[in-house]
Amino acid sequence: MRIAFVYDAVYPYILGGVEKRVWELSYRLVKRGHEVHIYGMHLWDGEKTLVKEGVTLHGVCEPRTLYRKGKRKITQAIAFGSAVFPPLARERFDVVDCQQFPYISALSSLISCRISRSSLVITWHEVWGDYWYEYLGLSGSVGKFLERIIALFSVQNIAVSEATSDSLKKAVRNAKEVKVIPNGIDLSRIDSISPSESISDLIFVGRLIKEKHADLLLESVRHLIASYPSLRCTIIGDGPERKKLEVKTKNLGIGDHVQFVGFLENSNEVIARMKAAKVFVLPSTREGFGISAIEALACGIPIVTIDHPQNASRFFAGSGCGALSRLDPIDLADKINEMLIHSGEKRDACIMSARRYDWETVTDGVEEYYQSISGK
C-alpha cells in the first residue's frame, strides 16, 4: 500500500504522543513492505524531503511555534493546513491518515483527497465539544464548529480509545463508523530497562497543565505523610503550571517529600524512574489516551486516576491494575494508600494488561484496517 500520514509536528524533532504514534506506525509499516510518507512542518536541516529509516518525510512549510501561552496558535494551524493541501491534492495514496487536530489540516485533507481520490482516514485523539469554550472562551465556537464539520464529513475514522469513540459518536449523533485502535508501547524496550537508583513511592508523568490536576496530588501527599512519614513523590514533566505547583509544595510544607524532575528528554530514564516507583498517579480529567499510564502498567506498577468521562486512562485501572478516584484530595489519598498497600501483589496483572498495547499488535490492527478500506 501507498500510505500518507498528516500531522504538523514530526517525531523526533518534536516529542509528543501524536507524533510518536505516527512515527511508530510509519517505520513498522515500511518494514512490512509498504510505502509510507509523513507530511509535516520542515523541522530538520537540509532539503524539505528526507528519507529516514525508509519513511519519506515531507516538510510542507517552515516551522512555526505551536503554542502561545500554553495554547495552540491558530496562525500556525492555518499555515500548515494551507501548505499541506497542494501535495495531497496532487498525489494519490491508497490511504491518507490525517490526525484530527488542529482541524485546519483535517479540513484540507478532506477536500484534497476528494480531488486525488485517495481514501481518507481521520484519527481522533480527543473530542473536545464544549471544552472548546473553556480553552478559548467565546472564540472556542470556531474550534467546536470545525470539529463538528470534520466529524460530519469524515467517512472513515479511527479513535485511539473507547472514550474518544463514544465522544465522537455523540458529537455527530449518527451511526458513523469508528474503528478503535489504541496507541502503543515498545514492550521489548521497556523490558530491557533497569530500575533507576532514584526510588520513589509515587510518580507522576505528564505535562504540567491545569487539566492534569497535579495540585490535587500535592494535597494528597500532605494527607498521606501522616501514615508514610518518609513518602517520596516524583513529578516528571514541565508546563505552565510548574511554578504554581512548586509554590504550592512549599506552602503545604511537603518540600522534603516531592521532587520536581522537569522534562526528561531520554524516555528510557522515564521508564527507569517508573520501575523504581510503587504507584503511578495521574489525577487528570482530560486524557485522549494516556500513554504514560500504559507504560506504568508495563513497568509493573498500578495506577490511580480520576473517574471522569473525558479521561480515557480510567479504562486502564480495571482488572486489578489500579483504582479510580473522585476529583477530591482525600479520596485520591485513600485510593493511593490502597495501591501502596497492594502494589507488589498487582505487578503481574499490570504487566499482562499492558501486553495488548505492544506497537506490533497495534500495527497489525492499523494495517488490517487500511487494507479493508483500500482493497489492497
Q: Are residues 161 and 240 in the same domain?
A: no
Using omega within 30 degrees of 0 as the cis cutoff, is the peptide bond preceding 63 cis?
no
Mean pLDDT of 119-131: 90
Q: Are residues 366 and 329 in the same domain?
A: no
What pTM was computed for the model?
Answer: 0.82
Q: Are residues 118 and 237 in the same domain?
A: no
Q: Are residues 143 and 26 in the same domain?
A: yes
Long-range contacts of 239-243 (CB under 8 A, 24+ apart): 239/70, 239/207, 239/208, 239/209, 239/212, 240/69, 240/70, 240/208, 240/209, 241/208, 241/209, 241/210, 241/212, 241/214, 241/215, 242/208
Which domain does 278 fall in, by range? 187-356
Q: Are residues 142 and 241 in the same domain?
A: no
List 51's β-bridge partners, or say none.
Answer: 56
Mean pLDDT of 363-367: 97
Mean pLDDT of 327-344: 96
- At residue 95, the pLDDT reads 98
pLDDT at 232 over 60: yes
Cβ atoms within 10 A of the Cβ of 330, count? Answer: 12
Distance CA 375, CA 235 (A): 47
Q: Are residues 131 and 119 in the same domain?
A: yes
Could you tell me what percentage of the chain is helix, strand and coil, using 3-state DSSP and rounding each to the nearest 5? Answer: 45, 20, 35
Q: Are residues 103 and 242 in the same domain?
A: no
Q: Are residues 323 and 243 in the same domain?
A: yes
List 324's β-bridge partners, or say none.
Answer: 305
Give the total number of structural domains in the chain: 2
Contact of 188 with 153, CB cutoff 8 Å: no
Q: Are residues 337 and 365 in the same domain?
A: no
- At residue 17, the pLDDT reads 83
The string of pLDDT tens digits covering residues 190-216 is 999 999 999 999 999 998 999 999 999
Give the cell for residue 35.
510505502
- Give the CATH number, domain containing residue 196: 3.40.50.2000
Q: Name the residue among 292, 260, 299 with its Cα closest to residue 277.
A: 299
Q: Are residues 179 and 211 in the same domain?
A: no
pLDDT at 69 over 80: no
Q: Are residues 303 and 363 in the same domain?
A: no
Q: Name the residue among 243, 241, 251, 198 with its Cα closest to residue 221.
A: 251
Distance of CA 139 to the CA centre of its chain: 25
Q: Are residues 168 and 304 in the same domain?
A: no
Distance CA 188, CA 281 (A): 24
